[in-house]
């Protein structure tokens, strides 16, 4: 996601944190919110010192393959990245600075895990090489999903978060259930659907927005709920 998407995930997660996690996070982030730190994972990309984290934003493998049996990227991927963040946050030997750094990355990567094209195909780099037009302007399918749809929606992250679907307790429990891998396969299924419904060079605009905006909003909402669930467990 772009800045808005990552902030929405953080903002929604805040509402599902229990008191203990909320307090621990506030201390680690010096009072900043999860929405504030959501985009951090992208901000550090401009610093070569952090190049090793770049493959942690996504995973690519062919449609129809299983992640578990497909050869893993040596540089790591979003799944290993998320596990690494959780391990460091749970380790009492980690320093406050270390925990703060990996907490900010975890917020970011749980967000990206819910962007369907971050569970993508290697041949077009998760849609980055899949050129399309967005309201007449040249862009690519990855960007349409990261940010073009949300930006065209012209709503602040707080407004998007405030207008998330109203869910019953049972629905929230169902969303929280499962593992990081289950959530990844959910995104993968959406990714396959997106490819079934897109053509290179296609002119996308309002029709596409109306078709997929609810999917975008629900992915962000699930990302927020699941992020909070992981954090409640880590800091519980």
* Chain residues that interact with ligand ADE, rule: CB under 6 A: 57-58, 60, 117-118, 120, 125-126, 128
Question: Least distance in Å: CB of 59 to ligand ADE?
Answer: 7
For Zn ion, which is the closer residue by CB, 7 or 57? Answer: 57
Shortest separation between residue 171's beta carbon and ligand ADE, angstroms: 29
Residue 146: contacted member of Zn ion, ligand ADE, none (CB under 5 to 8 Å, by partner type)? Zn ion
Q: How far is the CB of 110 from Zn ion (least distance, A)?
A: 11
What size, in residues, is the chain? 236
Minimal distance, residue 47 CB to Zn ion, in Å: 15
Out of 11, 77, 124, 146, point to the residue binding Zn ion (CB under 5 A). Answer: 146
**32 by DSSP, 3-state: which?**
coil
DSSP 119: E
Task: Give burial (CB, 10 Å; 0-12/13-18/19+) of 84.
Answer: middle
Q: What angle do CA 7, 16, 104 make, to 5 degrees?
A: 40
x-marked contacts with Zn ion along 3-42 as a string, rule CB under 5 A: --------------------------------------x-
Is residue 131 classed as helix, strand or coil in its secondary structure? strand
Residue 41 or 160 with smaller CB distance to Zn ion: 41
Site mask for Zn ion (CB under 5 A), range 57-86, x = bound: x-----------------------------
Q: Which does 148 bind (CB under 5 to 8 A by kind): ligand ADE, Zn ion, none?
A: none
Instruction: Report the C-alpha gap between 75 and 93 in whole angstroms.
Output: 25
Listed residue (195, 201, 108) closest to 145, CA to CA: 195
The residue whose two tokens read 């819910």 is 114
Q: Residue 3 CB, nearest distance to ligand ADE (Å)?
A: 15
Shortest CB 118 distance to ligand ADE, Å: 5
Q: Which is nearer to ligand ADE, 148 or 164 (CB)?
A: 148
The partner in contact with residue 120, picked from Zn ion, ligand ADE, none with C-beta cut-offs of 5 to 8 angstroms by kind, is ligand ADE
- Tell me which residue has its CB nearest to ligand ADE: 126
Does the footprint of Zn ion cover residue 112 (CB under 5 A)?
yes
Residue with the two structure tokens 């030997």: 93
- Between helices 96-113 and 180-196, what is the axis angle to 10°? 40
173 to 109, 177, 178, 225: CA distances (angstroms): 21, 6, 10, 9
Among residues 46, 60, 166, 47, which one has the least CA distance to residue 112? 60
CA 3 to chain CA centroid, Å, is 11
Residues interacting with Zn ion, by CB under 5 A? 41, 57, 112, 146
């Amino acid at each position: 996601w772009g800045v808005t998407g990552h902030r929405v995930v953080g903002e929604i997660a805040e509402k599902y944190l229990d008191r203990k996690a909320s307090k621990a996070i506030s201390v680690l982030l010096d009072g900043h919110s999860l929405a504030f730190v959501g985009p951090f994972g992208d901000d550090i990309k401009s610093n070569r010192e952090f190049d090793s984290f770049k493959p942690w934003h996504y995973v690519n493998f062919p449609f129809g393959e299983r992640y578990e049996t497909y050869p893993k990227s040596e540089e790591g991927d979003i799944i290993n990245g998320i596990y690494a963040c959780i391990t460091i946050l749970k380790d009492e030997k980690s320093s406050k600075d270390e925990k703060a750094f990996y907490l900010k990355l975890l917020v970011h990567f749980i967000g990206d895990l819910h962007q369907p094209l971050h569970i993508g195909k290697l041949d077009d780099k998760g849609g980055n090489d899949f050129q399309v037009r967005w309201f007449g302007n040249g862009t690519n399918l990855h960007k349409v999903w990261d940010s073009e749809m949300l930006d065209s929606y012209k709503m602040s992250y707080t407004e998007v978060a405030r207008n998330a679907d109203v869910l019953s307790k049972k629905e929230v429990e169902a969303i929280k259930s499962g593992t990081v891998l289950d959530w990844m396969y959910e995104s993968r299924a959406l990714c396959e659907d997106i490819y079934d419904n897109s053509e290179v060079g296609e002119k996308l605009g309002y029709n596409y927005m109306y078709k997929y905006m609810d999917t975008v909003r629900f992915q962000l909402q699930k990302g927020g709920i699941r992020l909070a669930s992981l954090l409640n467990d880590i800091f519980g």
